[in-house]
Amino acid sequence: MRTARRASTVEVPSFLRQLAKETEKMVTFFFKGGQRDGQDGSEEDFSDEDNGPSVYLDRPILDKHTAEGRSQWGVNYATASMQGWRAQMEDAHTCMPEMGGELAEWGYYAVFDGHAGNMVAQYCSHNLLQHILATGRVKAQEDPDDVKEGIVEAFLAIDSHMHTLTRQECWERSGSTAAAVMLSPQYVYFVNCGDSRTLLCRDGQVIFYTEDHKPFNPREKERIQNAGGSVTQHRVNGSLAVSRSLGDFDFKEVDWRSQTEQLVSPEPEVYELERSPQDEFLIVACDGVWDAIGNEELCAFVHSRLQVCDDLREICNQVIDLCLYKGSLDNMSIIIVTFPGAPQVSQEALQKEAELETILEAKVEEIVNLLKSRDKDPDLLYVMKFLVSEDIPGLPPGGGVTSKRDCVISAYRKFVTPFRALEPMVGDDQT
């Protein structure tokens, strides 16, 4: 596993310190100063099961952890995760491009989004696949219905086992959503329990995605009410924002009801879809990603990035950064799995990308010069806000200007540095 490089401890020049301050100001503006794209500012956007401001940091932790791998069957994957604004990192994931033995041609990829702690998410990332295989229903000569029943059986089994561990070993009372895909040579199995999500892009379009399990969904709400609970502020008993999860045993204590009839159910929904040569990529991600970007937007963005970047880890990083700048306040984890039919880097796409970056650089120079002519400080936040309001052709679909912020910051540094070098910065040492 490779991780993104951390910041150096070398003394930073004054103009870069100022740039960092302005970048932080811009980030804070987009995250906390305004509402996220497509959100209405309701309490569900900015609160969590834990409630209270302590679940958020004063500034986000931006270090990313990435990994990549491939199978001999032409399937590649990469993953990236970032803590972001959350006080703790509670996500976990599993990537297994080749499951081994008679299932060597099968793959398994899963994201677990923990809440109220990370113990359940971590335990499931290490043990859920073993529970699935232990059912004996996943075989090389597959029966799709048998595979799906085995996955559901495994979810119920691991949840029951963790419930016992919670009672016997005083586990923390945490929970976790789970979203996964299992690949066989013939099928893709989509698995979801909670509000993480999986998505398949085929021939440039979203062909399938899983539905989130939210308490206000009619079927979920009916089960919650039948179990003696209520849905308040879109939450189970006004507390939990998902209606299905692993763990969360405080919501699974109605002894005379089955596991699937509790306030919160551990039962996943499982679907199968026959694979196609036109399949391009799969995405498995937690709700920290989906809170900030829609299915079609993310499909279009990844499709476009695959044509200009051959590093799948970098594309994962770009998605996380994009969601961060779109206002996600949650931990973020994403897995992208590409098939042989995925878009390839093309000279035409690279040329268009280069032309776009030239346009952006020219616009940044124009804005900076305009501000200088008015004897105003060239503020990075102002530059970004100006660019967002502009109609700029060729921006990445689903990403917009926010997905090209590295290019914008590079141009900003290029044109602002000479201007600021002429006079001392605020806070610089005077000699």
Q: What is the 3-state secondary structure (H, E, C) of the chain?
A: CEECCCCCCCCCCHHHHHHHHHHHHHHHHHHHHCCCCCCCCCHHHHCCCCCCHHHEEEEEEEEEEEEEEECCCCCEEEEEEEEEEECCCCEEEEEECCCCHHHCCCEEEEEEEEECCCHHHHHHHHHHHHHHHHCCCCCCCCCHHHHHHHHHHHHHHHHHHHHHHHHHHCCCCCEEEEEEEEECCCEEEEEEECCCEEEEEECCEEEEECCCCCCCCHHHHHHHHHCCCCEECCEECCCECCCECEECHHHCCCCCCCHHHCCCECCCEEEEEECCCCEEEEEEECHHHHCCCCHHHHHHHHHHHCCCCCCHHHHHHHHHHHHHHCCCCCCEEEEEEECCCCCCCCHHHHHHHHHHHHHHHHHHHHHHHHHHHCCCCCCHHHHHHHHHHCCCCCCCCCCCHHHHHHHHHHHHHHHHHHHHCCCCCCCCCCC
Per mean pLDDT, which of 25-34, 139-148, 402-411 is the most reliable? 139-148
Give the pLDDT confidence score for residue 104 in this predicted structure.
Answer: 95
The lowest-confidence range among 85-94, 274-283, 419-428 is 419-428
Q: What is the pLDDT of residue 7?
A: 34
pLDDT one-digit tens code per residue, 188-217:
999 999 999 999 999 999 999 999 999 999
pLDDT of residue 143: 97
CA angle, 390 then 316 then 408, to 5°: 30
Mean pLDDT within 59-85: 96
Q: Is the predicted pLDDT of residue 265 greater than 50, yes or no? A: yes
Domain span(s) for CATH 1.10.10.430 in the chain: 12-41+346-431
What residue ranges of the chain are covered by domains with CATH 3.60.40.10? 60-338
Q: Are 282 and 181 in contact (CB under 8 A)?
A: yes
What is the per-residue pLDDT for 45? 41
Please tell me the predicted confidence (pLDDT) of residue 27. Answer: 52
Q: What is the pLDDT of residue 145?
A: 98
* pLDDT beyond 60 at 427: no
Q: What is the pLDDT of residues 292-304, one digit of tens each?
A: 999 999 999 999 9
Cα dihedral 361, 362, 366, 368 in deg (nearest 10): 20
CA atoms within 13 A on the CB side of 157: 15
pLDDT classification of 420: cutoffs 50, 70, 90: low
CATH number of 12-41+346-431: 1.10.10.430
Summarize the confidence of residues 73-94 as an average pLDDT.
Answer: 97
pLDDT > 70: percent of the chain: 84
User: Is 40 a residue whose pLDDT tops 80?
Assistant: no
The answer to whether the beta carbons of residues 283 and 306 sit under 8 Å apart is no
**Would you say domain 60-338 falls under CATH 3.40.50.1820?**
no
What digits encode the pLDDT tens for the residues 5-37?
333 333 334 444 444 444 455 555 444 434 333
Question: Which range, 53-67, 145-159, 363-377, 412-426, has the best average confidence (pLDDT)?
Answer: 145-159
Query: How many C-beta neighbours within 10 Å does residue 375 have?
Result: 6
The 10s digit of each residue's pLDDT in 344-396 is 999 999 999 999 999 999 999 999 998 888 888 878 888 888 898 889 999 99
- CA gap 244, 233 in Å, rounded: 17
Tens digit of pLDDT for each residue in 227-238? 999 999 999 999
Q: What is the pLDDT of residue 233?
A: 94
Per-residue pLDDT at 83 exceeds 90: yes
- Given a cut of 60, whether residue 152 has pLDDT beyond it is yes
Q: Is pLDDT of 47 > 70?
A: no
- For residue 377, what pLDDT is reported? 80
Q: Is there a contact between 378 and 431 (Cβ–Cβ < 8 Å)?
A: no
Task: State the average pLDDT for the chain.
Answer: 87
Lowest mean pLDDT segment, chosen from 2-11, 130-139, 269-278: 2-11
Contacts of 333 (CB under 8 A, 6+ apart): 79, 80, 81, 82, 91, 92, 93, 111, 113, 285, 286, 288, 289
Task: Name residue 181's beta-bridge partners.
Answer: 109, 190
pLDDT at residue 397, rounded to an integer: 96
Q: What is the value of pTM for the model shown?
A: 0.86
